[in-house]
Amino acid sequence: MDGGSIPPISTIAVVARWESSLPYHDEEHMTVVALPTETLRRRLAPRLPGRRLETWAPGDAAPFPGPVDLLVLPYMIAAPELRALEGLPIGLVQSQTLGYDGVREHLPAGLRYCNAVDVHEASTGELALALVLADLRGIPDAVRDAATGTWSHRRRRGLAGRRVLVVGVGGVGREIVARLEPFGVDVVRVARTARDGVHGADELPALLPTADVVILAVPLGDATRGLVDAPFLAAMADGSLLVNVSRGPVVDTDALLAEVSSGRLRAALDVTDPEPLPADHPLWSAPGVLITPHSGGDTDAMDERVDAVVLEQVRRLEAGEPPANLVIG
């Protein structure tokens, strides 16, 4: 994928390649892509000549512009909203998010669904590193001191020489590790099953007491929901830091609140359970807790990466190739 425009293909080729893969076709068929925002449509229009680009998203008042070959969902759409796609003639559904927890339960039967790979991993890795550094170097305290003009110099912890457990070594985990290594840390990788250079999840009870920082980068599923429970937290070393850039329900919020309220552990959270976190939730005021509003992957680098995903899916559809990153269907 070179990131440029995709030239239009002949009508004969379109009909031949899609006879068995789409629920509709005819001799006049032109590739139809439904995009969730006018901004995205304007961005892609010069790079997809000869295709019909429509602006539509689930819940829009405008009628569905189908049949549609590729439907791109809004960023961070709630999984229950996918029920609105029931009965619509859609060839392929493309998400703008990497995680797809809850999608299988709400996506109408028969629809194919792809997640967004190589869109958010690097940015989430950046935020994970930023959260670690902010906590260790006392940045939240400095911001609060600035509001009152308080000069409060004291020695802080550094990152160099620390032992960091990265739980989850998929795309996000790999990006986190790549950003940690130049800081001279001892990185310990943990995944569901052990392999060369990676510890298995069954080793966590022995590994947790040895870590200064534990970073969660796992997908949400049956095996990870509530993974970080009271025994997990109790096994962490006194004064250590928990960082969650995965999904809120990976952590038992009540168990975490008990640990941070006592001052034994610290936490830096980009995701919470519940989410959004209510304004009166005690996590906001708990000591040693830093919270960002699920912004890990949402940077200005996302636009070009999403564009690249859409362009590649159109190329694959028109070439008769399997879609990229098909996770349902």
Active site residues: 247, 275, 294
SS (H, E, C) 187-238: EEEEECCCECCEEEHHHHHHHHHHCCEEEECCCCCCCCCCCECHHHHHHCCC
The residues near 306 (Cβ < 8 Å, ≥ 6 apart) are 40, 72, 96, 116, 119
d(CA 199, CA 169): 10
Q: What is the separation of C-alpha 303 from the centre of its chain, rounded to a whole number of angstroms?
A: 15
**Tokens at 288, concatenated:** 């040693």
d(CA 194, CA 48): 44
> Cα-atom radius of gyration of the chain, to the nearest Å?
23
